Homo-oligomer: A and B are copies of this chain.
Amino acid sequence: MSVPVHYLNQLPSSGWLKRQLGLPAQTSLLIIFDRCLKGKGSFTSWVKQFPHRYGVAAGEKLKAVEHFSQHVLRLNKVVGELPTSQLVVVAVGGGSVGDFAGFFASVYKRGVTLVHVPSTWLAAIDSAHGGKTGLNLGGIKNQIGTFHSGSLIVVCRELLATQDRAHHRAAFAELFKVALLSGGTLYRATCQLVDLSTDSLWKVLPLAVTAKNKIVARDPLEKRGDRQLLNLGHTVGHVLEAFYQLPHGQAVALGLKFAVEWSRSLGKVSQRASEQIQAELEVRLDLSQVEKQLHRRKRLPTITLTRLLLRDKKLSGAGQVVFVFPEKVGRVRRQRVAVAAIVREMRRQGWK
């Protein structure tokens, strides 16, 4: 079940990928890539070595189930008459490209081999790992999906280095989440990041990936519930993401802040620990400033809030969801809470 992750400076050759997968030279790689990567670093010349390739416009629209059949018809043409046993899908892009290509690989001819080459920090830290794929249904994220692990994950510094600084900040939320969950060396290393430069993130990345994979390995299909811990910060994060159309990373950061503050007000985490945790987020992401702007932008009606919370895939019974409360660095607890209680707490924390 453990998936090999490689950290390379440059993009790997087609031959190297096949050797890592233990596949014969005649294997065909189908590259599904984010068109935005064209012209970045050596990407354009690299991608040309692959005869089977499919460029996509990254983003949530790519994941709309309504467009899936058109994509598959086109992908089917690109693939031609290759034998399934000799086909490998290589997803080169951020979260949306990985989710889309991963879903395609999991259902095309009942499943083909998948490789992830994440091109964003968010994907490199989080979404490329753990085997979740997803499509959106009627604008709601990941209502359709599968568990289909990459057989290989290749993280290339060259690709990540082309990202602008706003994306580094977005990735920090998921990095901090997994650090908070696992504590120890990873949490210390994360708090010691003096900036969010490529160098800093590259250093801490392998620790974060290992920590996430450790949690996933306990519950790969999210059956026993251990994997739900990774939902820390996401219950309210997803609501804010959908309502304010925020980038995922920023929404998760706000959701983390919310969870810590709720834990504090319930006495589940000490005042001191909660202040320390919140300060780490604040100093890097200016969350108070972000909150103020959002509060001014539009009000969150209770009916909308409730509807958004009831979409949660962690819904555990009539009007209840599983919420992850931080207790201290390295320890959280899952607890069923009523959707109405989350709404009340959001009001208390200033989300009007």
Contacts and interface: CB of A to CB of B under 8 A. Distances in A.
Interface in A94-127: 103, 106-111
Given A73-B138, A81-B315, A110 B145 contact: yes
Contact of A84 (B73, B109, B146, B315): B315
A137 B69 CA distance: 8
Contacts of A107: 103, 107, 144-146
A313 B87 CA distance: 12
Nearest to A148: B146
A108 B69 contact: no
Contacts of A313: 84, 109-110
A310 interface: yes
Interface in A8-42: 26
Nearest to A85: B316
A291 interface: no
A279 to B, nearest CB: 36
B109 A143 contact: yes
Interface in A142-188: 142-147
Contacts of A143: 72, 76, 108-109
Interface residues of A, number: 40
Contacts of A110: 132, 134, 142, 145-147, 222, 313
A43 interface: no
Contacts of A84: 313, 315
A350 interface: no
Contact of A316 (B83, B103, B132, B222): B83
B137 A72 contact: yes
A70 to B, nearest CB: 8
A157 to B, nearest CB: 31
Contact of A137 (B76, B222, B311): B76
Given A84-B313, A313-B84, A316-B85, A73 B137 contact: yes
A315 B83 contact: yes
A66 interface: yes
Interface string A54-74: 000000000011101100110
A69 B68 contact: yes
A86 interface: yes
Given A83-B317, A84-B315, A315-B83, A146 B106 contact: yes
Nearest to A133: B110
A51 B121 CA distance: 45
Contacts of A146: 106-107, 110-111, 146
8 contacts: A72-B144, A81-B310, A83-B316, A85-B316, A107-B107, A109-B313, A111-B146, A146-B146
